[in-house]
Amino acid sequence: MKTGIKIFSIVGIALFLLILSRINLNDLVNILAHTNVLFLFLAFLVTCITIILKSLKWKIIVNSVKPSFSLRESIVAFFVGFSFSTITPAKLGDFVKVLYVADENCSLGKALSTVVIDRLIDIILLVSIALIGIYGFSVLYHIDIISISAILLVVLIIIAGAYVVLNKQVLSALLKPFFNFFVPQHLKNKLSMYYNDFFTGMYSFYNDRFRFFSSIFIGIVSWIPPFFYGYLLARSIGIDIDIFFFVLAIPVMGLIDVLPISISGIGTRDMALIFLFGLKSISAELAVAFSLLYLFMSYWLTALIGVGVYFKYPVKIPEEMS
């Protein structure tokens, strides 16, 4: 994992440095130096709303296996998980949230199921909304960001992946050879228990239709604040374009950020924004300035808060893992 992180970091940073070598750095510094702090503060408040909505969604999911789990606990886990996700490709560090759920009343397998469900909902919504954004750009600006065949391939991969993860028999058939070959004999019973508990948690959530549809609804609603967030962030550096542009652009940025080809979207997001903002005749310097503010406000600031939260509420390793 550490080697993978280093490789992805190097690729992203190398791409970012290449972009910096092609733009006017003096203009970039001047843009950032004149950032409107009021708009940044408003953007931060909007981010807080998003965090509460995302935490509420996960709380609803967790309550299907652990009714006592509170919104405060969910917010704490969100911040800590986000901190770990900022330094891992595809935000895999988010799975540390499992440790805030698992205890004597909720097994590790059930806790893991809540994070997997949460990620599945997020990914499906992200891809769906991002594809709408990509289609919107193709219609309005007559460009092909991604081909129809590639879009269909992505949709099929997501459907197939979700089917495999949610189908115990299919997943068991795929994992059985690896389980028999790689797992030591003395660990097989414990891992089998985790595995069965994982699907118990999955079914508990799915069978509770109120929680199922409520979490999806909140997941959809949680996409509304980021559109205003992008607009406010742009206004802070003098980019004055309509909010509808960010309805299309923010999901595309989100999709790029979760691809396992950089850390926190460094480099890849900058390149995408230069292209997207270029459609509005906005300079590369402004696009990179927006990307840097987005990186700081959306990742580093939230991650920094998460570090503080972690020291106040450190994870507890369940006895079953010790």
Condensed to tens digits (0 to 9), the pLDDT of residues 9-44 reads 577 778 888 888 899 999 999 999 999 999 999 999
Give the span between the Cα atoms of 74 and 309, in whole angstroms.
12
* Per-residue pLDDT band at 1 (split at 50, 70, 90): very low
* Per-residue pLDDT band at 309 (split at 50, 70, 90): very high
Give the span between the Cα atoms of 300 and 178, in whole angstroms.
37
- pLDDT (0 to 100) of residue 218: 97
More confident residue, 271 or 93: 271
Residue 161 DSSP label:
H
- pLDDT (0 to 100) of residue 2: 47
| 264 Rama class: left (phi>0) / alpha (psi -120 to 50) / beta | left
Q: What is the pLDDT of residues 252-265, one digit of tens each?
A: 888 887 766 667 77
Among the ranges given (48-52, 78-82, 105-109, 166-170), the one the predictor scored with the smallest mean pLDDT: 166-170
Cβ atoms of 61 and 254 within 8 Å: the answer is: no
Mean pLDDT of 109-113: 89
Enumerate residues 6+ apart whose C-beta is below 8 A from 199.
Answer: 113, 168
What backbone phi and psi angles, to 5 degrees, belong to 106? -140, 115
* Per-residue pLDDT band at 89 (split at 50, 70, 90): low
Q: What is the pLDDT of residues 214-238, one digit of tens each?
A: 999 999 999 999 999 999 999 999 9
More confident residue, 160 or 70: 70
- pLDDT (0 to 100) of residue 180: 66
In total, the chain counts a number of residues equal to: 322
Among the ranges given (126-140, 168-182, 270-284), the one the predictor scored with the smallest mean pLDDT: 168-182
* Per-residue pLDDT band at 157 (split at 50, 70, 90): confident
